[in-house]
Structure 1
Amino acid sequence: MPAAVAVAASGGRDSTALLHATARAARELGLEVHALHVHHGLVASADIWLAQLRAQCARWARSGLPLHFHATRLAGAPARGESVEAWARRERYAALAAMAQAAGCDLVLLAQHRRDQAETLLLQALRGGGAEALAAMPRRAERDGLVWARPWLDRPREEIEAYLRRHRLRWLDDESNDDEAFARNRLRRQVWPALLAAFPEAEQQLAASARRAAEAAAALKVLADIELSALAEDDGPLDVAGWRGLPETHRAPVLRRWLQSVLARPVPESLVRRLADELPAAASARWPAPGGELRLHDARLVYVPPQAAEAVAPESVALDLSSPRFVELPSWGGVLEVKAVAEGGVSPSWLRAAELRARQGGESFQAAPRATPRALKKQFQARRVAAWDRAGPLVFSGEQLVFVPGLGIDARCRAAAGEAQLALFWRPA
């Protein structure tokens, strides 16, 4: 059992009741409670909320409750095009996590109740969410090294209001709850009263649906992960040929799980749907994705981060590459590795006055000692090198092409057996 527990405290009715109930229980258990307050800076009364909540916690502490108060004021503002709600939620959870960790807590309690859960399911359904979205809020989740728990998620709001009356607790009303520019406020003020009038059991039934959606989402995730394990390793490329062999109804969930692993950020459902529609017939293609792009070549789908996707190569760079080293080339979007090898490399003498150049056209490459030099385009096609993997620097010594990313060392420059030699490797970012 933790020695301390944190409670996210806004000062509203729900979190006030949860904070008070937690502190009373903690006193009997010998625990410390840390109230965590986030000042969003979005409404004029935010300073008043902070001051009153601080004073309330101080009064409760003087009365014998094991309570400590912490507050953080958010900095910055939503990015252009980002909703205020999404920004506030993301930054609030980050601030709560930082305060909880600083206070030595590994458990954070949140005050959402059954009606909040029902509202969340409705909002997600109206946004076209699938099983994971319709699962709404989890009762327990592990994130940022913390356990986040909602102990009242199955409790009706009426029980919370009864607790407030019984203990004569005072809370603050957030005036932003009256602003119908926010979707949840429109739902609460316009839709919810009519829904309850027509369907009195709506709250209980919607909350029950969220639980069943959570079960379905968990099962779907397990199945998708099993199928994905045969199609991709860690964050590596997706085997599109194998993916095409899946039942059609399995493809989108597997795509979604793969995208979640490589993007490490929320996956737009529009991207999942587009890929599910276009991948089955595509041979080579590119799609924009959050933070970079997706590239399909040779039945492999890969994610390319922005620095590699957007790098612009300079005209030429003179370098001494005659000893093992790593050469970072940000403008090219990658790193050139020079490595000592026993065979298949080039004599260091070829690389003392090397020059890195962008492809101009007309260059030829000899793949093997007895092969005929051929145009780079034909060599790339023969080796099935994707178009975007041809953008790395060509390494010249004088006018002799020595190294080509994706093709290797030109056979005309390879060192003799027993001679000291180096190999070159291009590592896109």
Structure 2
Amino acid sequence: MHATARAAVGARVVALHVHHGLQPQADDWAAHCERVAREFGAGFACTRLSGAPTRGDSIEAWAREGRHRALHDMAIAAGADLLLLAQHRQDQAETFLLQAMRGAGTAGLAGMPRAQWRNGLCWARPWLDQPRDLIRAYAEQHALSWIEDPSNADPRYARNRLRQTLWPAFPAAEAGLAQAARWAQQAGALAAEVAAEDLARLSTPERLDLVALAELSPARASNALRAWLAPHTAAPTSLVERLLTEWRPGATLSWPAPGGALHAYRGGLFWAAESLQPPPPAALDLQRPGLHPQPGWGGAWLVEPATPGIASGRLAGLTQRARCGAEQFQRAPAAVPRGLKKACQEAGLPPWRRGGPLLFDAADRLIAVAGLGMDARAFANQDEPQLSLRWLEDSALPQSEGEGGTAA
């Protein structure tokens, strides 16, 4: 706070405090922080966390999750997009060791990033390469007063036990361990670049080519698979290893995963979120071009001017519902209508994506099926204004996140 207030000439500085409610002195700490912020000419905001850790929960994890959420919300409310955190080199070294003892991979060993944009806010740690002793010397030089949290000495917490035993025995280890975290960050960045190159050739957001993946080296295949899974699920190492060893060309297999399941089908790997009961039939108006999300179905209808398409007036009184079993679908004007199951098989649509939604016009005629497209019998005449319909899974929808701004 002191260093920021001195350096941030012309910028607005706001001190953010999170009241965890875990210590009897917590009210006094909030008052102290507000008083110091006023002394340094900064604004002040405080959030008290609600609730408490449930039985069996990690207090540290509960507090960290709540703290991150509160800091984000307070920063955004203050109109700031830069959040400065005071973690230093010893914190980074401890994080590296704790992650290593948990068997973490490169991402865990990389520890804390120096700067990271998340949900419109830059989380920055400008002191990550600075030793703790140098920061303490600065505070003493400027006669600053601070409060020591008594929980910092509680040996029940792994980080405290590490501090009490490691640094007295190996005082020079801090710099080396922090450097190891930097090497892990570089290795992680390189792995991400390689994965991006591989996935550009091997995948779409919906499908990963398992045949091509199997041609990569084991390490490179595992790296690409983890990167492809990341937007869908936090897959444990055991699942990645099972998938790479159990799949064989031509096999149709499934693996449960956190939040859903993975399916190998026709040489591809697909992600399916946890299946929910399909929504009841509902009226839908798709006359307006654009993206029309359907939250209960896990996707959206994309409506665009295109030929061939469906007469725009016919898209006003639609009914959207699940598959019943007797529907027929015609994929092209010269094709023969087929039962929906057969049409899905011919199109290579996986079994878990054949439930819908289906769109019917006001006369209860099928006009589109998610995953198959428009029924050719619904195509408009060439001289009619027409729109095309295409179904996009949530995983294929465009993502956007602002990263601009200059407030501190």
What's the TM-score, normalizing by structure 1?
0.71
Deviation at 1:386, TM superposition (A): 1.2
Paired with 1:426 and 1:142, the residues of 2 have a C-alpha distance of 31
Paired with 1:243 and 1:275, the residues of 2 have a C-alpha distance of 11
Which of 186, 209, 220 is equivalent to 2:191?
220
Name the residue aligned to 2:276. 310
Which of 182, 207, 211 is equivalent to 1:241?
211
Which of 42, 57, 75 is equivalent to 1:67?
42
Paired with 2:162 and 2:198, the residues of 1 have a C-alpha distance of 39
Secondary structure, aligned partner of 2:356: coil
Name the residue aligned to 2:26. 46
User: Would you say 1:20 and 2:21 are equivalent positions?
Assistant: no
Name the residue aligned to 2:147. 172
Paired with 1:280 and 1:142, the residues of 2 have a C-alpha distance of 40
Structure 2 regions of 5+ residues with no counterpart?
A: 395-408
More moved, 102-111 vs 237-246: 102-111
Deviation at 1:112, TM superposition (A): 1.5
User: Would you say 1:252 and 2:222 are equivalent positions?
Assistant: yes
Distance change (3 Å), C-alpha of 1:88 and 1:280: farther
Paired with 2:36 and 2:322, the residues of 1 have a C-alpha distance of 68
Distance change (3 Å), C-alpha of 1:41 and 1:386: same
Secondary structure, aligned partner of 1:155: coil
Amino acid at match of 2:103: G
Secondary structure, aligned partner of 1:43: coil
Amino acid at match of 1:91: G
Distance change (3 Å), C-alpha of 1:46 and 1:251: same
Paired with 1:290 and 1:387, the residues of 2 have a C-alpha distance of 20
Deviation at 1:95, TM superposition (A): 2.4
> How many residue pairs end up in the alignment?
388
Higher relative contact order (CA 8 A, sep 6+): 2
Paired with 1:170 and 1:36, the residues of 2 have a C-alpha distance of 18
Deviation at 1:124, TM superposition (A): 0.6
Name the residue aligned to 1:392. 356
Name the residue aligned to 1:192. 166
Deviation at 1:122, TM superposition (A): 0.4
Deviation at 1:249, TM superposition (A): 1.2
Name the residue aligned to 1:37. 17
Paired with 2:121 and 2:284, the residues of 1 have a C-alpha distance of 50
Paired with 1:147 and 1:355, the residues of 2 have a C-alpha distance of 41
Secondary structure, aligned partner of 2:37: helix
User: Could you say which structure has the larger radius of gyration?
Assistant: 1
Amino acid at match of 1:256: R
Distance change (3 Å), C-alpha of 1:238 and 1:200: same
Q: How does 1:24-173 map to 2 (within 5 A)?
A: 25-26=6-7, 29=9, 31-58=11-38, 61=39, 65-77=40-52, 83-173=58-148
Deviation at 1:119, TM superposition (A): 0.7
Paired with 2:121 and 2:380, the residues of 1 have a C-alpha distance of 59
What's the TM-score, normalizing by structure 2?
0.74
Does the CA contact (< 8 Å) of 2:19 and 2:26 recur in 1? yes
User: Would you say 1:285 and 2:257 are equivalent positions?
Assistant: no
Amino acid at match of 1:275: L
Deviation at 1:423, TM superposition (A): 8.6
Task: State, as a whole percentage, how many aligned pairs show the same letter.
Answer: 44
Structure 1 regions of 5+ residues with no counterpart?
A: 1-18
Secondary structure, aligned partner of 2:13: strand
Secondary structure, aligned partner of 1:147: strand
Deviation at 1:221, TM superposition (A): 1.6
* CA displacement, residues 320-347 of structure 1 (integer Å, 9 cap, x when unaligned): 99x969999877666789999977989x
Secondary structure, aligned partner of 1:168: coil
Amino acid at match of 1:255: L
Paired with 1:143 and 1:123, the residues of 2 have a C-alpha distance of 24
The alignment's C-alpha RMSD in Å is: 4.4
Does the CA contact (< 8 Å) of 2:321 and 2:356 recur in 1? no
Distance change (3 Å), C-alpha of 1:380 and 1:56: closer
